[in-house]
A and B are shown apart, each in its own frame.
Chain A
Amino acid sequence: MNPVNLFLLVAALFLVLLPFLRGAYQRIWLLGGVLLMAVVTSVPAWQVLTGATREWLLPGNGVIGEIPLRLDGLSAWFILIINLVFLTGAVYGLSYLRHYQAHRNTLTLHYLSFLLLHLALLSLCVIQNSLVFLVMWEVMTLAAFVAVIFEHEKWVTVKAGINFLIQSHISLLLLMVGFLYGAIHTGSYDLAAFAGLPGGRGTATALMLLFIAGFGIKAGFVPFHTWLPYAHPAAPAHISGIMSGVIIKIGLFGILRMLLILSVDFTTVGYLLLAVSLVSGVYGVMLAIVQHNLKKLLAYHSIENIGIIGLGIGLGCIGLGGGHPLLAALGFGGALLHILNHALFKSLLFYTAGNVYQATHTLHIEHLGGVMRKMPLTSLLFLVAAIAICGIPPFNGFVSEFLVYAGLYQWMQEASLVTLVVIIFTIMGLVLIGGLALLCFTKAFGIVFLGNARRGHAGAEVSRGQLAPLWVLALLILLIGTFPQVFTGFLARPVAQFTAMVPHAGAAVEMGTSGLEPVPLSGVVNGMVTPVAAAAWGVILVSLLLWALRSLVIRTKSQETSPTWSCGYVAPTPKLQYTAGSFARSYTKLFRAVLTFSRRERGVDAIFPAGGHYESHADDKMEKWFVDKPVNGFQWLMSRLLFLQNGKLQVYILYGILFMAAVILIPVFTGWLGDLLQFLKQL
């Protein structure tokens, strides 16, 4: 059977029957649905990644035309990532949601939205009819919205959801304008037809900028990132993981897809992406450090990682524009690998944060502490992900960042003066991102999991079943770090799609067509990461060796425990520990220019003081400038027109009559006007 029909059948079957099931059957049904959809799509995706591109044509209708579904290397890569994250997410989510058994209707709705989300994301990867793409985009947005507002009895959650919904629709609007423009000027809704857009490079580039803005809202590039830090903490843990792991990546997929289709001025787009990504990366991590909510911290980190991926894409574009295939391969390769890497460690971080939330019922970093003693496995998993996200060997984050660095240093060899300055500042930015990420995650891990509990939270390790998908993710993180050449090998086809567009490889390369031979470049990239694998193995082996030596030596030695040294002070309480705020204090002082804080405090001042109170929040300056100020201005403008809405029924009827009159009279008037013009012309 055709995989497309099979997929549609499976999706329809599981979606329709899900609401009629109860309790455990419903959970199994959901898991089965996700699993079957994943299998049905992964098999062809895997074949494509190792073989030839596939294409199907669905009969559409008179309005939208036929719906071409094309499965190429890029789609295959994303489909596999989506399936991986959804499978682990579903298994984790079902255990996570056990505590919400009582809300049966909410759960059913949530499961439905989960399946729909999976369906929509998978189909977005292959659909190449712009109208249907937009429809699926909207399905994805709505499903994600429903999934996010799972705890809809909380006002904050609903507010975050609506924020997400509005910003997503701005994204949809921009995409709609872009797609309709393309459709009108090429006469076809088929995305492949966009390659022949009249107007040349300039028009294509302008259109690309529109798409970057539209997809960039979904991806969370600064300054379009403001929905992320609200939506991620509001959603339940598995949805946060999925959002950060794949939903924001679908924005990047859109950008990559359009780069393959539109014949844009790659150099301009590349530099633009480079600048935006650098700002996103540095800004994201800078704000992440000062967050008090663990999930919000992770959300800002997603923005940072989108920045790193964007850097890769930007480098790749510059490579394409400058006829530098190796740079293109390293840039796109690094970006695509980091998309997988980020999906792995960020979902792992969100899931472990979810475990912490379940055990302690708070995500406030300053209230936590000492979690590791009660939840050793969760803590270990968080630690692995935290080291990986800092881009430190032997884990996966290092490999993709290494590719981006390698691209930058390769590019350096044949760059001109201005370019060199750009490169050196990009390198500095990337290094700064790495250093700040280290500061951020030592803070997050150290304060939340180590030391003593700051408030008396009870909590125990979550069930083994809930941890199982997390181990899978951690294992993959380690595997990519230690066998990167295998994964860059899988990347050969998607990367070759891009490198085939390097100008000197033939000016008339048909873009988005099938059957591109993987260029030997992938061999070069593989050759570059192979020694990294050796080095990663070295780190692991030397550590194990030293540990064995240590165990051998200290076996015969005495081991005692005594209180931590506190300068002779004998009665330390958990409150005396270093807090997250104090850990980041010297940093916040240093970067005052970028960070703003709003404080609320009530001092302890009277002779018999009532309880003092101090609260500080890190504000997002970008949000203030790019969202709050324009919205406030618009509200002010609208409030000037408030007199129209005066609550008098008669006036409203008058509006109605005026409107109808206008509808009738305007064509008449334009007719007269036309006649008048005709008459004047004749004169």
Chain B
Amino acid sequence: MLSALLILIAALFFTGIINRTKSMASGRKGPGVLQPLFDVWRLFRKGSVYPATAGILFRVAPTICLASIFMALLVVPFGREKGLLSFSGDFVFFAYVLALGRFLSIVAALDTGSSFEGMGASREALYGMLAEPAFFVLMGSLALLTGHTSFHEIFNALHLGSWVSYALATLATFVLVMIAMIENSRMPVDDPKTHLELTMVHEVMVLDHSGFDLGLILTAGYLKFAIFGALIVNLFIGMVPTGYAIPLFFLIQGGMAVAVGLIESFMARFRMSHNPQFITVLTSVALLVFFGVLLISGRFL
């Protein structure tokens, strides 16, 4: 319960902080931290324009998409507190329920009959497919390290003791941040601020959404960031008592938002054709974590 609440609060500010960081890095004054919320609120009150080709699926998809992300949110724990749903293998559910959202957003994009949106949909499906193994290998290594198979138990049993485990946590953080960037279609893979449909991934898929539905999609994006941020926080706060963990949670989430903002400001987007290589590298890094775990748990003989 606590974790869901905290993630929701973090989601309120996350995208605002990213945007603020970006504006500061480029020397602009920039919008307020709460601007994304105002955007969504305004969208919720607007009417919609639907493309003539689109059918019912196009209208349903954003709702189910947000619902799937909400369900993913519920399995994420917070330190010693369980998520609302916590069971053995819940990270499998986490990944697959996110896939439900992806499936529907891809299908909704194809429903418009636009070749731009088809292009974005194709990329989304491919990148999602390539990024998933990294997540599963990472969670597998953590499961091996701790001997548990649910988010809550894994994070609770995660002791950061030796220098090797710090190295592993760093690598794990890197993998999670990058998966978050891919899931949210952010900088090294996709540029949310680009103005050319040909070079977009996520933005082009939602080109034709408007009004309430677009608001739902934006909300989903904010939530996704905060969820992955919460996963990263969990890597570090397993042992910390809840009283200290809450400020730490916001500190790390804020830090991650700033980091994302900085990455977006100082990195260029990769060429589309190089993205698969980059995403596959993530799986290799996750494998590195796995072999590190083997090293720690003394299974290399």
Partner-B contacts on A (CB < 8 A): 369-370, 372-373, 376, 383, 387, 390-393, 398, 401-402, 405-406, 409-410, 412-413, 416-417, 420, 423-424, 427-428, 431-432, 434-436, 438-439, 441-443, 445-447, 450-452, 528, 531-532, 534-535, 538-539, 542-543, 545-547, 550, 553-554, 557-567, 572, 574, 576-578, 582-587, 589-590
Is B26 an interface position by the 8 A CB rule?
no
Task: Report yes or no: B100 in contact with A387, Cβ–Cβ below 8 A.
Answer: yes
Chain B hits for A435, CB < 8 A: 99, 125, 128-130, 132-133
Task: Report the minimal beta-carbon distance from A304 to chain B, rounded to whole angstroms.
Answer: 14
Is B44 an interface position by the 8 A CB rule?
yes
A657 to B262, CA, bound (A): 93
Contacting chain A: which of B30-38, B175-183, B204-212, B247-255?
Answer: B204-212
Task: Report yes or no: B118 in contact with A583, Cβ–Cβ below 8 A.
Answer: yes
Chain B hits for A428, CB < 8 A: 133, 136-137, 283
- Residue in B55, B71, B287 whose beta carbon sits within 8 Å of that of A538 in the complex: B71
Task: Report yes or no: A393 in contact with B93, Cβ–Cβ below 8 A.
Answer: yes
Task: Report the minimal beta-carbon distance from B202 to chain A, rounded to whole angstroms.
Answer: 15
Task: Report yes or no: B300 in contact with A539, Cβ–Cβ below 8 A.
Answer: no
Task: Report the minimal beta-carbon distance from B57 to chain A, rounded to whole angstroms.
Answer: 7
Contacting chain A: which of B58-66, B186-194, B228-236, B237-245?
Answer: B58-66
A376 to B55, CA, bound (A): 10
Task: Report yes or no: A412 in contact with B143, Cβ–Cβ below 8 A.
Answer: yes
The verdict on A409 contacting B99 (CB below 8 Å), with A446-B121, A539-B68, A557-B212 known, is no
- Residue in B50, B57, B63 whose beta carbon sits within 8 Å of that of A559 in the complex: B50
In this complex, the member of A369, A405, A412 whose beta carbon has the largest number of chain B beta carbons within 10 angstroms is A405
Chain A hits for B47, CB < 8 A: 554, 557-560
Partner-A contacts on B (CB < 8 A): 44-57, 60, 63-64, 66-68, 70-71, 74-75, 85-90, 92-93, 95-97, 99-100, 102-103, 106-107, 109-119, 121-123, 125-126, 128-130, 132-133, 136-137, 140, 143-144, 147, 149, 197, 207-208, 211-213, 216, 272-273, 276, 283, 287, 290, 294, 299-301
Chain A hits for B93, CB < 8 A: 393, 398, 402, 532, 535
The verdict on A392 contacting B96 (CB below 8 Å), with A428-B283, A442-B103, A528-B87 known, is yes
Task: Report yes or no: B51 in contact with A561, Cβ–Cβ below 8 A.
Answer: yes
Chain B hits for A372, CB < 8 A: 55, 57, 111
Chain A hits for B74, CB < 8 A: 538
Which chain B residue lies CB-closest to A534? B85
Chain B hits for A401, CB < 8 A: 96
Task: Report yes or no: B140 in contact with A412, Cβ–Cβ below 8 A.
Answer: yes
Task: Report yes or no: B89 in contact with A406, Cβ–Cβ below 8 A.
Answer: yes
Task: Report yes or no: A559 in contact with B123, Cβ–Cβ below 8 A.
Answer: no
Task: Report the minimal beta-carbon distance from B275 to chain A, rounded to whole angstroms.
Answer: 9
Task: Report yes or no: A451 in contact with B63, Cβ–Cβ below 8 A.
Answer: no
Task: Report yes or no: A392 in contact with B103, Cβ–Cβ below 8 A.
Answer: yes
Which chain B residue lies CB-closest to A428? B133
Which chain B residue lies CB-closest to A544? B67
A424 to B88, CA, bound (A): 18
Ordered by A's residue number, 8 sampled pairs between the chains whose C-beta atoms are within 8 Å are A432-B132, A442-B125, A446-B109, A451-B112, A543-B67, A553-B212, A578-B117, A583-B110
Task: Report the minimal beta-carbon distance from A538 to chain B, rounded to whole angstroms.
Answer: 5
Task: Report yes or no: B96 in contact with A420, Cβ–Cβ below 8 A.
Answer: no
A604 to B75, CA, bound (A): 57
Chain A hits for B147, CB < 8 A: 413
The verdict on A539 contacting B89 (CB below 8 Å), with A428-B137, A582-B118 known, is no
Task: Report yes or no: A562 in contact with B52, Cβ–Cβ below 8 A.
Answer: yes
Task: Report yes or no: A542 in contact with B125, Cβ–Cβ below 8 A.
Answer: no
A531 to B109, CA, bound (A): 32
Task: Report the minimal beta-carbon distance from A446 to chain B, rounded to whole angstroms.
Answer: 3
In this complex, the member of B48, B67, B86, B96 whose beta carbon has the largest number of chain A beta carbons within 10 angstroms is B96
Task: Report yes or no: A578 in contact with B110, Cβ–Cβ below 8 A.
Answer: yes
Task: Report the minimal beta-carbon distance from A427 to chain B, rounded to whole angstroms.
Answer: 5
Given contacts A409-B140, A535-B75, A535-B85, 13 further A-B contacts (CB under 8 A): A424-B137, A442-B103, A450-B55, A531-B86, A531-B88, A534-B85, A539-B97, A550-B216, A557-B45, A559-B47, A562-B52, A582-B115, A590-B276
A376 to B57, CA, bound (A): 10
Chain A hits for B107, CB < 8 A: 383, 442, 445-446, 450
Query: 7 closest A-B pairs (Cβ-Cβ)?
Result: A578-B118, A435-B129, A446-B110, A558-B47, A531-B87, A451-B113, A564-B51
